[in-house]
Amino acid sequence: MLHSRLAGINLRGVVAAVPANSEDTDALAASLGRDMADKIAAATGIRTRHLAPPGVTACDLGQAAARELLDGLGWTPESVDLLVVVTQTPDHPLPGNAPLLQHRLGLRNHCGTLDINSGCSGFVDGLWTAASLLAGSNGQRALLIVGDTTSQFVAEGDRNTRPLFGDAVAAIALEGGAGDDIFIGVIPGVDGSGAPYLNVLDGAARKRLPGQARFGSIFMDGPQVFAFTLRQVPKNIAAALALVGWSADEVDHLILHQANESMIRHLANKSGFTPQQMVLALAGFGNTSSASIPLAMASALAEPLTAASRPVQLLMSGFGVGWRWASAVWRSEALQYCRKIEVATPDDPQPGSAP
């Protein structure tokens, strides 16, 4: 089983950005009916989702989050050695969002940049990548930007997906140079046979849409997603704990991909965690893909993560489209900055918004 344990990497800060525009259960009731809207909210725990209006992209939200994070930490753009961007909804087929954000944020030309296409496991995938690159280079500071505007894939009348998905992008700051008592351990997993059950098949090279008028629509087989999650995630979490010799009760906060409240509760219980350790933060945001874990941190854990008097011990697990899953255990000093922001309008998209 492939795994990594990387010492000396601290989590310095998290900022999650959501669009100010939102849709709640009452708005859903107007189109889906009151009974259906209430049943969906009760089953999923989702009551409000923030939705990017036309013209607001993952780059725009990522730029807003990253600027807030750099300002909050007192980091200059020139001090960032590495930028890793994880999204399934880039602004353009090419170039990727990483060089666009490097330019818009004013990062150095010698900054390392990398684009990753990953969904529900994308936050852990990005952490693993950024931490590994810091550990294997002379770089000290990394900026990880993760998230999607998934609502662009949702058909207006699709009652299976419209009530679930929201938009968000988060920026995460990592810094090397700490001692061996600060570490991150990661165990990934993949099973591509699950690709038919959660996907957007139209709009790329395999099957283009006529005139490319819009993106293809997202498809999700909910029972298959739930079955896959229960089959793979608990043992992946157990393997991550074993990698660093922790028991479940040594974890301060369990932060799972925020897809569905009943799924989160079931996974936490099956993996041996208490309700007090489990983080639930999807009621006001919905499923925000790779941004859901850092959004949960910024919206529900900002105070305990920044006020901690000792290193915090976190277990984070992302899982979904692919099938892909990945769990990370992280022992880090207290965060220096952590908050959620709302973005009313995109930042001025003049430099780097288009190739």
Angle at which helices 261-270 and 222-244 pack, to 10 degrees?
Answer: 40
Q: Which residue has the tokens 């022992």?
A: 331
Please state, in angstroms and rounded to a whole number, the distance separating the CA atoms of residues 40 and 45. Answer: 8
Tell me whether residue 160 is one of the annotated catalytic residues: no
Please state, in angstroms and rounded to a whole number, the distance separating the CA atoms of residues 308 and 328. Answer: 20
Count of CB atoms within 10 A of residue 355's CB?
10
- 154 CB-side CA count, 13 A: 21
**Catalytically annotated residue among 199, 236, 260, 287:** 287
Q: Which two tokens stand for residue 55?
A: 């013209």
**Catalytically annotated residue among 10, 50, 199, 257:** 257
Tell me whether residue 253 is one of the annotated catalytic residues: no
Tell me whether residue 287 is one of the annotated catalytic residues: yes
Q: How many residues does the chain have?
A: 355
User: Hey, CA dihedral for 112, 118, 119, 120, is it positive or negative?
Assistant: negative
Q: Which residue has the tokens 């601290």?
A: 10
**Catalytically annotated residue among 59, 111, 120, 338:** 120
Tell how strand 112-116 and strand 141-148 pair up: unpaired
Fill in the amino acid letter for 166: G
DSSP three-state, residue 30: helix
Active site residues: 120, 257, 287
